Amino acid sequence: MGYGICHVPAASGCHHLNCVTWRPRATLWQRWIGRFVGGGPQLRAPEAADVVAGGANRCRLQTEAAGTVQLELGVLTRHLGAFGVEC
């Protein structure tokens, strides 16, 4: 499990994005437990992703890389009603 953020393009069309992810760094004990039980450390309040947006608590959070997620997005910005999307 990891956390990441990327911006959705404002232009219509098909977009290929790479979203870099991170996760809280686990202690040795948490890694040992995670190997047998699964899972890992998580943020207590995911809305604490104010950490991602530049919050004051970022300096206290120890993180490690969790990989990259490749996204393929189809963005429609006009005439959404013609495609069956209710606004």
Task: Name the pTM for this structure.
Answer: 0.61
The token pair that represents 69 in the structure block: 């997620």
What's the pLDDT at 61?
77
CB 58 within 8 Å of CB 19: no
53 and 4 in contact (C-beta within 8 Å)? no
- Paired with 65 in beta bridges are 22
Q: What is the pLDDT of residue 18?
A: 96
Number of residues assigned to the chain? 87
Reading the block at residue 54, the tokens are 């530049």
**Tell me, what's the pLDDT at 46?**
62
Digit-coded pLDDT (tens) for 5-59 = 888 887 788 999 999 998 888 888 887 877 788 777 777 766 655 555 555 555 6
Q: What pLDDT was estimated at residue 33? A: 79
pLDDT tens digits, 65-79 = 889 999 999 987 777
Token pair of 72 as six digits: 């393929």
Q: Parallel, antiparallel, or unpaired for β 13-24 and 3-4?
A: antiparallel
- Residue 68 has a pLDDT of 95
